Amino acid sequence: MRIVSYRQGQGAALLFILAAAFLAAPPPATAATGPKVVMHDPGGALASRQREIRALRRSGQRVELRGTCYSSCTMYLGLNNVCVAPDAVLGFHGPHGLFGGLQRDVFEHWSQVMAAHLREPLRGWFLQHGRHIRHGVTTLRGSTLIGMGYARCDPPQRSSTFRYSASGARGKP
């Protein structure tokens, strides 16, 4: 390992190198990068999902719930720019630890965190019923959530490329 010492007069060169590195860095993700499309998300740790949602909110990136979205994935519903496909399936249950139940105050805290990411009337249902589901999940279809006021995702864009059928005939999809 070579140790480089800083000498007077090297400041301008160091500043130039740092500026060049900054300018060469890729820009932060923005809404222009396209939507985050959720096709299969089994959930995960609430604290991690909460951090991800804060980052998505800052970036403005759209989230499309198009497949299965269980557990902490349902917290995406708290974003302003989320949409739900009618055939999506969202699974709800209450917070729990890796090895079972939580202490009452911890359970209450994470229940409130989860509920804060839901709109009425879904929030009320979750606080009354959903958070008490300990084994398995209760599922709701995207069409039900759309009926509750969540935005409906536009149908996926069809590709204009040609596909080959089993018979070898060419045609549009």
Q: Give the residue from 114, 34, 19 showing the smallest Cα distance to 72.
A: 114
What pLDDT does 151 receive?
A: 97
Question: Nearest CA to 129 among 118, 119, 120, 138?
Answer: 138
Looking at residue 115, the DSSP 8-state letter turns out to be: H
- Strands 36-41 and 63-70 come out as parallel
| Residue 130 clears pLDDT 50, i.e. is over it | yes
Residue 29 has pLDDT above 60, yes or no: no
Average pLDDT, the chain: 76
Confidence check: pLDDT of 163 > 90: no
Domain ranges of the chain: 31-147
Distance in angstroms (rounded) separating the CA atoms of residues 22 and 33: 20
Say what the pLDDT of residue 127 is.
87
pLDDT at 31 > cutoff 80: no
Q: Given this model, what pLDDT does residue 25 score?
A: 33
Q: Is the pLDDT of residue 119 over 60?
A: yes
Average pLDDT over residues 145-158: 91
Q: How far is CA 125 from CA 41, 69, 128, 132, 156, in A?
A: 22, 18, 5, 11, 30
pLDDT bucket at 27, cuts 50 / 70 / 90:
very low
pLDDT 10s digits, 51-110: 999 999 999 999 999 999 999 999 999 999 999 999 999 999 878 766 667 788 887 888
Q: What global pTM score does this model have?
A: 0.69
CATH of domain 31-147: 3.90.226.10
Residues 139, 125: Cα–Cα separation, whole Å: 13
